[in-house]
Amino acid sequence: MSEFVQTYERLLHSIRHQAANRPVTLVGVSKTVPVPVLETALAAGLRCFAENYVQEATAKWPALRARYPDLSLRLIGPLQRNKAAAAVALFDRIDTLDRPSLVPALARAMEKAGRCVPLPLK
């Protein structure tokens, strides 16, 4: 068993023990992580990942998503308006919305794509 798998299993055990039946999602931040390492994490059962950059995510996640359709992707880095459509197409959630001017671009992209991607609006 790889060191990653052992660490992941220990972490899951600890989270489950401390969460006391509360819903918790373990999110793996995959910025700069190569695909073979992501494949190890996916094989171990991790299904939620976050990326900082749309371009980096676009290069590695579509092929992995085809093999692991139950995975969930989050954008946690800054987003440029010109990448709103790509972000809406790829990510299941956008956790960083750093300026109001992105909202119309994201709304247009969601309408065009026919999908709703949760945003951190309060």
Per-residue CA distances from 70 to 27, 37, 76, 106, 118 (Å): 14, 18, 19, 24, 17
- Domain annotation covers residue 67: yes
- Domain annotation covers residue 13: yes
Domain containing 70 equals: 3-113
- Domain annotation covers residue 26: yes
- Domain annotation covers residue 34: yes
Q: Indicate the number of domains in the chain.
A: 1
Of 44, 40, 56, 57, which is closest to residue 91 (Cα–Cα)?
A: 57
- Domain annotation covers residue 120: no
Residue 73: give its domain's CATH number: 3.20.20.10
pLDDT digits (tens, 9 = 90+) for 51-106: 999 999 999 999 999 999 999 999 999 999 999 999 999 999 999 888 888 999 99
- Domain annotation covers residue 119: no
Output the DSSP codes for 25-65.
---EE-TT--HHHHHHHHHHT--EEEES-HHHHHHHHHHHH
pTM score, two decimals?
0.88
pLDDT digits (tens, 9 = 90+) for 70-85: 999 999 999 999 999 9
- Domain annotation covers residue 81: yes
